[in-house]
Amino acid sequence: MGAAASSSAHKSDTPSTPIEKAVSRSIDRELAKEKIEMANVFKILLLGGSESGKTTIFKQMRILHLDGFTRADKINYRYQIHSNAVDALNQLIEACQKFRIVHESSIQGYVRDFLKFRTQTNNDQNDFELRSDVADKMHRIWISGPIQMAYKRRWEFTLLDSAK
């Protein structure tokens, strides 16, 4: 039964008409072309534990040997960088509360505005735009003495490693 089915399938696969033969030759040419192209492809398998740098090597290869990052990649990374900056500053402000470090009076308004901005945006990727006035306030908060004091004690609380 199987042999009969196989034989009949094989028979119908064999090109007989001129059109079928032309199509078959075209497929053969494509396969031969692909074979030559594949002979020049080197595949690399990156092995390593978590956080060992596999993705980083892949990204570096793209920057060094290909076109680097696409526009969509850049937009996505920009969001991640801004989002990390907001999260890290929030962690530092929380640490000040924990350590009972009081902000300078000239900074307190900026801290309030920043926390309000963070609550409003809630770090939503679709709705997240780090406005320049907020970035400016974040910079002023960051360089203030109390925040730098909390930063020096960063081993005592959770802080993103890209905070600085």
Ligand X SMILES: Nc1nc2c(ncn2[C@@H]2O[C@H](COP(=O)(O)OP(=O)(O)OP(=O)(O)O)[C@@H](O)[C@H]2O)c(=O)[nH]1
**Binding residue numbers for GTP:** 51-56, 161-162
Decide if residue 26 touches ligand X (CB under 6 A): no
Residues contacting Mg ion: total by CB under 5 A: 1
- Smallest CA-to-CA distance from 144 within 117, 123, 116, 114 is with 114
Decide if residue 62 touches ligand X (CB under 6 A): no
SS3 label, residue 158: coil
> Under a CB-based contact definition with an 8 Å cutoff, are residues 147 and 110 in contact?
no
**Helix runs in the chain, H state only:** 2-13, 18-39, 54-65, 71-98, 105-121, 132-143, 145-152
Smallest distance, ligand X to C-beta of residue 28, A = 41
Closest residue to bound Mg ion by CB: 55
Contact range with ligand X by CB under 6 A, out of 54-62, 65-73, 124-132, 141-149: 54-62
Smallest distance, ligand X to C-beta of residue 51, A = 4
Burial level of 41, CB count in 10 A (0-12/13-18/19+)?
exposed
Q: For ligand X, give the closer residue by CB, 53 or 109.
A: 53
Interface with Mg ion (CB under 5 A): 55
Site residues (CB under 6 A) for ligand X?
48, 50-56
